[in-house]
């Protein structure tokens, strides 16, 4: 689609232009300053974009937005610009009209006259929207206002920003730059920061429970618990251990441990049990109740057996003494008989002695009575005269007194001695008997005591003779019993020791458990104090944070896609431009075939644009005004050619493009315009300058020169003459 003609009425410097033909590949509008050149190119843009371009600025019109469309000296008629186009469907005319007294931001009348009919208002705007590029595209690929480029380039931060402007990618680049600050992610960071502050505030409020926890924790660690043991699970395991060990101990002690109910987390009940259990285990264990009785029994048995042994010895010795006495001196009857016999002998001896003594006494009496003469003297007894009686009595007396009495005295003494000896022997035997009896009695008493300590079937002490057998059985039974008791006592004492050890461990573990539960409780209390997630409103906060995260992720995702699209657009545009950029640039600046290309480097945070020559070396080292103009022209031409090839709009407006270009470059620009005109219709406005001469005289493309007349206040701008070449 190419421009065919242009009509301007009451538009800025123009009052009534009449139909200006634009049907040549190159239209060169030549005029001094103030003759309406820029208004002419702007009229075309206004026709296509209306208020959109008025407010956009950057067109070189007063260098500001909201410029005035109507001249101050305009007539009462409306402002109207008609742009004739050669479209594929035939001649088309786009008309934009604004009433003389239109105010505010009211809409213009737009009309599109096509071979098939006239489209008005919305239909016309829709036709424009579909068939014409948008303003941004138009400005980068179809129109050049060097003043605008200069101003924007001046404002640009760096070379890449200038190139982005020239490529129409500044919005993308600025968006990418803005993304450095990532507002959506800031939102997430802000929420994160607020959550941390909340966490810190809550933590700060829990100082007391934290100290409690630390205190009990120190105690537990001092008890040898490892860090990993500080857990509710360890407390539960310890509690289970306590009850399991108590159950086992109770079974051995024959007790009911009366364990607290299983599975009911009643800490008070458990601890009450844990305190009471050792008392019960110590005092009421049936298995240990007989221990003291056994100890007493063993003590008595040991004492009895200790007492019995010497008694047995004594008894044995008494028995031996008695037997020896019997053996040597006969038994009691024999000894009694000996006494009787000795007594009889003694009695006989005494009687004999008595008789002898009586005889002696008689003899002495007789002697005393007998005359002391040797005659016959009458016997004092029988009165018979006896010769020598006195002598004879004397002899008899001597005989009896000296012999018989002495013999009888001796015999009597012997008999008495014999009797006494017999009596002593009997006494001795009696003493031996008494001694034996006493020994046996003493032994029997001990035996009875021992027997009382023995079970009924353990035998009974012998009765009677000290030599009877059961005595040994009893002592043996007592010893057996004592041994049994000793073993039983050992076992029970072992059990008691085991109980004591178990209860000591129980007490220690119970203390540990209480500390551990205190720790669990302190941790739970601390958790309650600081655990904001348990707060009912935390779920709402959590959901809100999720929503923020979701929103931020969506924005992040969209921005990521946008960044991809930006990068792709930049790369695509660079590629499109690079098809012809080098040739146009070479044409304008005479770069000697080094060419020029735009290199795009996109990162998540930045898009960079560089200019390189064909060999990939940095190009255009100094980006001064002339260079910017040259580069912007080359870029515009390259983009215009690409647009014409792809989208079919064949129109380029160059508003005084020769600014800042020397004559040589203006000649180069003419060459570039010649080349561009092969693809696009080019409308160039210029002052009478080398460019005008070069286009007029050295370009082979059909071209038309429109010379503008000096501006007349009443007639406005006008074409003074037309020159077709």
Partner 1 sequence: MRLEVHRRLAELRAAVGMDYGKCVQKLLGLAFLEAGALRLTDRSIQGIDLEVTLADRRRLALEVKTTEAEAIRLGDKDLEGLEARRAEGFQPFLAALGPNRLDDWIFARVHPGELRAKESYAPLLLRAWRDRELEAVVASTFPAVVLAHAAAAAVGRQSALNALLERYPAYARA
> Residue 90 is encoded by which pair of tokens?
């035939």
* DSSP for 204-248, written as a single string: HTTHHHHHHHHHHHHHHHHTT--GGG-SHHHHHHHHHHHHHHHHH
Among 55, 292, 406, 560, binds partner 1 (CB under 8 A): 560
Alpha carbon distance 697, 335 (integer Å): 194
Among 550, 590, 618, 648, binds partner 1 (CB under 8 A): 550
Q: Should residue 539 be labelled a site residue for partner 1 when binding is judged by CB under 8 A?
A: no
Distance of CA 336 to the CA centre of its chain: 110
Nearer to partner 1 (CB atom), residue 191 or residue 398 = 191
Q: Should residue 469 be labelled a site residue for partner 1 when binding is judged by CB under 8 A?
A: no
Nearer to partner 1 (CB atom), residue 217 or residue 656 = 217
Alpha carbon distance 145, 149 (integer Å): 6
Considering only residues 222-261, where is the footprint of partner 1 by CB under 8 A?
A: 226-228, 230-234
Stretch of residues binding partner 1 (CB under 8 A), selected from 329-337, 359-367, 509-517, 554-562: 554-562
**Are 708 and 30 a contacting pair, CB within 8 Å?**
yes
Alpha carbon distance 610, 620 (integer Å): 10
Distance of CA 441 to the CA centre of its chain: 85
* Neighbouring C-beta atoms of residue 668, cutoff 10 Å: 25
Considering only residues 306-365, where is the footprint of partner 1 by CB under 8 A?
A: none
Among 73, 199, 410, 490, binds partner 1 (CB under 8 A): 199
Min CB(206)–partner 1 separation in Å: 8
Nearer to partner 1 (CB atom), residue 126 or residue 554 = 554
Q: Should residue 495 be labelled a site residue for partner 1 when binding is judged by CB under 8 A?
A: no
Stretch of residues binding partner 1 (CB under 8 A), selected from 66-74, 370-378, 454-462, 553-561: 553-561
CA distances from 328 to 133, 331, 414, 671 (A): 165, 9, 21, 177
**Are 223 and 512 a contacting pair, CB within 8 Å?**
yes
Among 291, 326, 379, 545, binds partner 1 (CB under 8 A): 545
* Neighbouring C-beta atoms of residue 719, cutoff 10 Å: 18
Considering only residues 585-644, where is the footprint of partner 1 by CB under 8 A?
A: 604
* Neighbouring C-beta atoms of residue 210, cutoff 10 Å: 17
Nearer to partner 1 (CB atom), residue 231 or residue 460 = 231
Among 52, 62, 68, 203, binds partner 1 (CB under 8 A): 203
**Are 18 and 717 a contacting pair, CB within 8 Å?**
no
Alpha carbon distance 493, 547 (integer Å): 72
Q: Looking at residue 19, what DSSP letter applies?
A: E
Of the candidates 21, 28, 26, 24, which has an alpha carbon nearest to the alpha carbon of residue 691?
28
Query: If binding means CB under 8 A, how many residues of this protein chain bind partner 1?
Result: 37
Q: Should residue 553 be labelled a site residue for partner 1 when binding is judged by CB under 8 A?
A: yes
Min CB(241)–partner 1 separation in Å: 16
Alpha carbon distance 282, 496 (integer Å): 8
Show the binding pattern over residues 159-198: x = contacts partner 1 (CB under 8 A), - = does not: --------------------------x--xx-xx--xx-x
Min CB(262)–partner 1 separation in Å: 21
Among 110, 235, 450, 523, binds partner 1 (CB under 8 A): 523
User: 16 has which bridge partners?
Assistant: 9
| HEC-encoded secondary structure of 501-568 | HHHHHHHHHHHHHHHHHHHHHHHHHHHHHHCHHHCCCHHHHHHHHHHHHHHHHHHHHHHHHHHHHHHH
Nearer to partner 1 (CB atom), residue 433 or residue 556 = 556
CA distances from 127 to 29, 120, 130, 320, 652 (A): 29, 10, 5, 157, 20
Nearer to partner 1 (CB atom), residue 364 or residue 556 = 556
Alpha carbon distance 409, 223 (integer Å): 107
Q: Should residue 554 be labelled a site residue for partner 1 when binding is judged by CB under 8 A?
A: yes
Among 120, 507, 549, 689, binds partner 1 (CB under 8 A): 549
Q: Should residue 526 be labelled a site residue for partner 1 when binding is judged by CB under 8 A?
A: yes
Among 147, 556, 608, 612, binds partner 1 (CB under 8 A): 556
Among 439, 552, 670, 705, binds partner 1 (CB under 8 A): 552
Q: Should residue 216 be labelled a site residue for partner 1 when binding is judged by CB under 8 A?
A: no
Of the candidates 610, 679, 613, 609, which has an alpha carbon nearest to the alpha carbon of residue 643?
679
Min CB(164)–partner 1 separation in Å: 23
Nearer to partner 1 (CB atom), residue 87 or residue 188 = 188
Q: Looking at residue 387, what DSSP letter applies?
A: T
Nearer to partner 1 (CB atom), residue 196 or residue 247 = 196
Is residue 22 within a helix (H) or strand (E), and if so which, with residue range? none
Min CB(555)–partner 1 separation in Å: 10
Among 154, 289, 354, 557, binds partner 1 (CB under 8 A): 557
Nearer to partner 1 (CB atom), residue 234 or residue 401 = 234
Nearer to partner 1 (CB atom), residue 123 or residue 548 = 548
Nearer to partner 1 (CB atom), residue 228 or residue 265 = 228
Stretch of residues binding partner 1 (CB under 8 A), selected from 33-41, 474-482, 499-507, 550-558: 550-558
> Residue 136 is encoded by which pair of tokens?
């941004």
Alpha carbon distance 75, 96 (integer Å): 17
Nearer to partner 1 (CB atom), residue 178 or residue 247 = 178
Show the binding pattern over residues 668-687: x = contacts partner 1 (CB under 8 A), - = does not: --------------------
- Give me the residues that bind partner 1 (CB under 8 A), please: 185, 188-189, 191-192, 195-196, 198-199, 203, 226-228, 230-234, 523, 526-527, 530-533, 545-546, 548-550, 552-554, 556-557, 560, 604
């Amino acid at each position: 689609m190419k421009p065919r003609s242009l009509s301007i009425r009451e538009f800025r410097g123009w009052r009534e232009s009449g139909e200006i033909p634009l049907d040549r590949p190159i239209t060169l509008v030549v005029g001094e300053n103030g003759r309406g050149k820029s208004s002419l190119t702007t009229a075309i843009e206004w026709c296509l974009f209306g208020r959109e371009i008025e407010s956009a600025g950057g067109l070189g019109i007063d260098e500001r937005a909201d410029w005035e469309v109507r001249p101050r000296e305009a007539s009462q008629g409306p402002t109207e610009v008609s742009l004739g186009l050669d479209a594929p469907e035939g001649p088309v005319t786009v008309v934009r009209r604004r009433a003389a007294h239109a105010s505010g931001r009211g809409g213009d009348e737009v009309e599109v006259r096509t071979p098939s009919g006239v489209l008005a208002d919305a239909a016309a705007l829709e036709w424009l929207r579909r068939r014409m590029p948008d303003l941004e595209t138009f400005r980068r690929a179809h129109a050049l206002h060097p003043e605008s480029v200069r101003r924007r380039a001046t404002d640009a931060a760096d070379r890449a920003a200038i190139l982005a402007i020239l490529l129409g990618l500044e919005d993308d680049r600025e968006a990418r730059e803005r993304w450095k600050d990532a507002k959506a992610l800031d939102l997430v960071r802000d929420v994160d920061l607020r959550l941390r502050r909340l966490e810190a505030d809550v933590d700060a409020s829990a100082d007391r429970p934290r100290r409690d926890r630390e205190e009990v924790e120190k105690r537990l660690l001092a008890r040898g618990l490892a860090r990993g043991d500080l857990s509710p699970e360890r407390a539960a395991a310890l509690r289970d251990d306590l009850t399991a060990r108590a159950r086992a101990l109770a079974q051995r002690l024959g007790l009911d441990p009366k364990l607290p109910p299983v599975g009911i987390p009643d800490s008070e009940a458990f601890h009450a049990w844990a305190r009471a259990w050792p008392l019960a285990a110590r005092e009421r264990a049936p298995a240990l109740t007989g221990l003291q009785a056994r100890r007493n029994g063993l003590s008595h048995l040991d004492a009895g057996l200790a007492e019995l042994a010497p008694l047995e010895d004594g008894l044995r010795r008494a028995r031996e003494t008695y037997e020896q006495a019997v053996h040597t001196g006969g038994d009691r009857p024999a000894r009694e008989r000996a006494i009787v016999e000795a007594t009889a002998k003694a009695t006989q001896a005494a009687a004999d002695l008595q008789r002898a003594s009586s005889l002696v006494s008689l003899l002495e009496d007789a002697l005393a009575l007998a005359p002391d003469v040797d005659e016959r003297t009458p016997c004092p007894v029988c009165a018979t005269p006896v010769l020598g009686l006195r002598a004879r009595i004397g002899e008899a007396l001597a005989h009896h007194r000296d012999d018989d009495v002495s013999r009888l005295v001796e015999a009597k003494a012997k008999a008495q001695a014999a009797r006494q000896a017999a009596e002593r022997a009997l006494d001795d035997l009696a003493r031996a008997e008494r001694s034996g009896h006493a020994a046996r009695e003493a032994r029997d008493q001990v035996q009875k005591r021992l027997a009382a300590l023995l079970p009924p079937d353990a035998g009974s002490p012998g009765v009677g003779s000290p030599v009877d057998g059961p005595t040994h059985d009893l002592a043996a039974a007592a010893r057996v019993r004592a041994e049994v008791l000793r073993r039983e006592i050992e076992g029970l004492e072992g059990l008691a020791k085991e109980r004591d050890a178990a209860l000591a461990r129980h007490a220690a573990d119970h203390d540990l458990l209480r500390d551990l539960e205190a720790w669990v409780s302190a941790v739970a209390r601390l958790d309650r104090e600081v655990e904001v997630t348990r707060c009912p409103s935390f779920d709402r906060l959590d959901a809100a944070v999720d929503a923020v995260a979701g929103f931020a992720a969506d924005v992040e995702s969209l921005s990521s896609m946008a960044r991809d699209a930006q990068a792709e657009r930049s790369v695509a545009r660079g590629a499109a431009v690079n098809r012809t950029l080098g040739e146009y640039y070479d044409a304008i600046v005479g770069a000697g075939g080094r060419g020029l290309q735009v290199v795009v480097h996109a990162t998540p945070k930045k898009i960079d644009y560089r200019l390189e020559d064909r060999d990939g070396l940095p190009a255009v080292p100094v980006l001064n005004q002339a260079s910017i103009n040259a580069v912007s022209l080359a870029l515009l031409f390259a983009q215009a050619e690409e647009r014409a090839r792809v989208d079919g709009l064949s129109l380029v407006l160059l508003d005084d493009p020769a600014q800042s270009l020397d004559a040589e470059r203006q000649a180069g620009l003419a060459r570039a315009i010649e080349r561009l005109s092969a693809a696009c219709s080019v409308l160039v406005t210029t002052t009478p300058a080398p460019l005008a001469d070069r286009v007029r005289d050295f370009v082979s493309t059909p071209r038309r020169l429109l010379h503008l007349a000096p501006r007349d206040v009443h007639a406005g701008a006008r074409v003074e003459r037309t020159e077709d070449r």
